[in-house]
Structure formats: structure tokens, C-alpha cells
Amino acid sequence: MTEKIAILIDSCSDAPQYLQDKDYVKTVSMQIHWDGKVLRDRVDISPDQFYRKIKHGASIPTTSSPQSGDILEKFQELEKEGYSDVIAICISSGLSTTYNQISLLASQQSNLNIKVIDTKNIGISSGLFAVYADDLIKKELPFSKIVQLVEESVDSGKIFFYIPTLKYLAAGGRIGKVASILGSALDIKPIISCNDEGVYYTVTKARGEKKQSKKCWH
């Protein structure tokens, strides 16, 4: 039987839009809890709308993993469309429960062969694993080989970044609040990455935007 391979991505993996637009790629939306409403990322609110709202709003939203029903719906769509194998790309299990949730639901699917990848990264760094998987699919490699190569690439895939304010990471409990205060007071902000467990850690620190940019590149 010829393999027909699809990709499942969570919206926080920030895969390029051209990839998400492909027929064999499905995206499940993270949930955004804001002012008493539950919004689906990139469905009920776009990234541009999110950033405009957070810039002018007083409240800070919280997030949660996709609804189980949304994940199951994507699996059902892929099954109906004749796919036999699915590689699911998830942001770090150290930062979200999404990997565990999709893994549990995947294990309950009898008509799909699903492999869930914990990228141990977040944002575009996670999304690039989906890009890599897509490249391997286009080369018509067997599903087992695609899974092997993507899994092997996880240890070498890293993103390094800094942000103008640590307010939102501190509010979300991702970094210590002391670090947030020091960064604000001294204009010293950490260069952040994900460690081997997929958790944020400080790679180094720099003062001022130009020095931060240089350290990110070096």
C-alpha cells in the first residue's frame, strides 16, 4: 500500500503560511483566554489583531492547548481524505501540554499511523521542523525515514531571541520575576533559548538593543 503522508501542526509552532495552506497540512489552534472569552488562535483572532489588542488593552491573556475536539476533527478530516500516516509537530512539552494531549488522542486512532514530535522548541523554531518534514515528503521518502530524520534534527535545532520587555514572560510564569525587574531597571535583557528539556533558559545577557542583536547572531 502506498503511503499518503500528512502533517499536523499546532498554531504556536508558527509554521510559514505557505505550508499551512497545503492540502495535506492541518493546523490546530491554541486557545486564548481574554476578557472572559475563549478565542482560537488564527481563527477567531489573527496575530496582528492579538498584538494590537495587547498593546492597547489593560488585561493580559492566558493560553491553553487546543481543544480535544479540534484535534480529533483534524484527524477525522485526514482519514476521510485518505491519508495513512501523519507526522504531528508540537511546541516543547516543557512549555505546553499540547504534545501530551495530541499524543494521547493519536494513540486512540486506529486508522491512522501517527507520530508526534516534541520539537523542544517554540515559535518559528518549532515550525521549521514542519518545513523540514514537508521537504522530506516532497522527496518521497518512506514515513519511517521521515520520522527518523526529523527526530534526529531536534537536538540540533535551536532558536535564540530577546524581546523588548520581559513583562509577558514573567506574567506567564516562564521566567523569574526578579529577572524581569532587573532587566527593566538596567536595560539588561537575557538572550533566551530552550534547553535540552525544552524549557526557557538564559544563554547570556546584554545591555541595549544593538548588543542584544549581536549576541543573538554570535
Q: Which domains does the chain have, with CATH numbers?
A: 5-30+65-154 (3.40.50.10440), 167-217 (no CATH)
Distance between CA 19 and CA 15 in Å, rounded?
7
Other beta carbons less than 10 A from residue 137's beta carbon: 21
Q: What pLDDT was estimated at residue 177?
A: 46
31-34: strand order across its sheet: 37-40, 31-34, 62-64
Amino acid at 120: K
Supply the pLDDT for residue 204: 82
Largest CA distance in the chain: 62
Q: Sign of the C-alpha dihedral, residues 128, 129, 130, 133?
A: positive
Residue (of 77, 72, 63, 69) closest to 6 by Cα position: 77
Q: What confidence score (pLDDT) does residue 80 get?
A: 97
**Euclidean distance between CA atoms 218 and 215, whole angstroms:** 5
Low-confidence ranges of the chain (pLDDT < 50): 177-178, 217
Show Cβ contacts of residue 46 under 8 Å, excluding neighbours closer than 6 positions.
none
